[in-house]
Amino acid sequence: MRTIFEDVDERTNREDDGKEGRTAILLWVVAILSVATALGTYRWITHRRPAVAPPPAVSLNDDSQLNATVNQFNGFVKAGNWEDAQKMLSSEGLKRLEDEHKTLRESLLGDKSNERVVEAGTTPSRSHTPSTARLDCGYFFLDGQTRIIPITLVIENGRLMVNSW
């Protein structure tokens, strides 16, 4: 025997008003969007570029930094770009030029200041103190002569600067 309540429940189950179908479709759409979002996030994480490493701290003990600074300075000297070379001088180096009443070219090259520098490079000779680093640089001139000048570097304003020669 069936009761009236069972009849009502069965009748409502048989009558399909379409809400159950829409709910199932909505749940499938949400599930597909969740999977697509997870795959997109995974792809983005695995294919993105790694963060750029910060530049190393300026150090007088790092030979690559010393070489880069001296090579840049020597490149300016070799090219005859004395204004940019003078921008690489520390405050003490600029004071030395003022005291001598000479240009950087005259002070650095001495009696060879009228001749063109054909090649400039560093020698293996180096020395360090806690506050300075010294590298010997060889300057080659058109007449075949060579002049070796010690270049001293210091850290000033977070940069390596030429302090003395």
Instruction: Give per-residue pLDDT as tens, 84-102.
Output: 888 889 899 889 889 888 8
Looking at the fold, whether 74 and 147 belong to one and the same domain comes out as yes
DSSP states along 123-147: EEEEEE-SS-EEEEEEEEETTS-EE
Q: pTM value?
A: 0.65
Give the domain extent around 102: 63-164
pLDDT (0 to 100) of residue 107: 86
> Are 160 and 66 within 8 A, CB to CB?
yes
> CB count, 10 Å around CB of 137?
21
CATH of the domain at 122: 3.10.450.50
Q: Does residue 54 fall inside a structural domain?
A: no
Q: Is residue 58 assigned to a domain?
A: no
Query: Residues 81, 21: one domain?
Result: no
